[in-house]
Copies of this chain bind each other. A is one copy, B any other.
Amino acid sequence: MKTVNTAKEVRTRVERWRCHGRTIGFVPTMGALHEGHISLIQAARRACDRVVVSIFVNPKQFIPNEDFGNYPRDIKRDSRIAAAEKVDLLFAPSVDEMYPEGFDTRVRVSDRLTETLCGLSRPNHFSGVAVIVAKLLILVHPHKAYFGQKDFQQTLIVQQLARDLNLDCEIEVQPTVREADGLAKSSRNGYLSEEERRAAPIVYQALKLAEGILQVGERNPRDMIEAVNKRLRSESLIEIEYVAVKNANTLEDLNVLTGRVLTAVAVRLGRTRLIDNIIVEVPSGS
């Protein structure tokens, strides 16, 4: 595995592969690689001739007072993991490489997709995501890029971005990888105290409750949201940020629970923010 730190180097190497007819799979990450990232790398490995992984803790997607400074960084450990997964090229740029002095361009995707769910409590977070994903997809120019369903809102935004800016890349969304007790894998799980960690699976349990409620025929969004909230409130350490039910294609509100139904949750456990979601297909008229 080769590691490069500059936009120019990654571009040159990938262009050479493309010109030789190789397909390129790309997994953009903020490092602190866990089994969720590994499943993305493995999906890229299965589908593409060459796999590129980026590791960049993107300051623009953290809002003030978030954990940018404390976000886990261990490039040596991440490199070992990437190499073991047969990644061909690791791109680990500095902040100055991605945002040189004088950088001053913003990319904003659809308010409909960004001004809801996590966008409400994290203003400018998705602008930060959009600009770094645009830059990475422009300079890596992969055939396919891989994202995890845990950040479902992000995947819709990135799909819209890729279409709108002609980024010439299929956005592949892979299922959320979970701990044995259901907690979604996340680089931020390491922030949890033992007590908080024991409480954390309530989030997935509440989402499975939503799924069950849909499966037994509930079609009223308010009743379902209330049931999910109630389950979450049964865990006293949990502070609920939102419980939302949306059309999973558009993030629009639903009057009736039908079609691709997204149930999404954001909570705080102590100082740690956790998100998770589940999508259920409800046949219309069922």
Residues on A lying within 8 angstroms of B by beta carbon are 7, 11, 15, 18-19, 100, 102-113, 130, 134-135, 138-139, 160-161, 163-168
A141 — nearest CB in chain B belongs to which residue? B141
Please, how many angstroms separate the alpha-carbon atoms of A113 and B104 in the complex? 10
Contact in complex: B166, A135 (CB < 8 Å): yes
Please, how many angstroms separate the alpha-carbon atoms of A104 and B106 in the complex? 14
Q: Which of B108, B110, B167 contacts A138 (CB 8 A)?
A: B167
Please, how many angstroms separate the alpha-carbon atoms of A109 and B164 in the complex? 17
Please, how many angstroms separate the alpha-carbon atoms of A29 and B213 in the complex? 56
A-B contacts, 16 listed (Cβ < 8 Å): A7-B166, A102-B163, A104-B109, A104-B110, A104-B111, A104-B112, A104-B160, A104-B164, A105-B108, A105-B164, A106-B106, A108-B108, A138-B166, A138-B168, A139-B166, A139-B168
Please, how many angstroms separate the alpha-carbon atoms of A64 and B74 in the complex? 52
Question: Least Cβ distance of A247 to chain B in Å?
Answer: 14
| Contacting residues, chain B, for A110 (C-beta < 8 A) | 104-105
- Tell me how many chains of this kind the complex includes: 2
A107 — nearest CB in chain B belongs to which residue? B107
| Contacting residues, chain B, for A11 (C-beta < 8 A) | 166, 168
Question: Least Cβ distance of A157 to chain B in Å?
Answer: 9
| Contacting residues, chain B, for A164 (C-beta < 8 A) | 103-105, 135
Q: Which of A7, A107, A160, A161 has the most CB of B within 10 A?
A: A107
15 additional A-B pairs beyond A104-B112, A105-B130, beta carbons within 8 Å, are A18-B19, A100-B163, A102-B163, A103-B163, A103-B164, A104-B109, A104-B111, A104-B164, A105-B160, A105-B161, A105-B165, A135-B164, A135-B165, A138-B166, A139-B168
A15 — nearest CB in chain B belongs to which residue? B18
Question: Least Cβ distance of A251 to chain B in Å?
Answer: 12
| Contacting residues, chain B, for A104 (C-beta < 8 A) | 109-113, 160, 164
Please, how many angstroms separate the alpha-carbon atoms of A268 and B196 in the complex? 67
| Contacting residues, chain B, for A161 (C-beta < 8 A) | 105
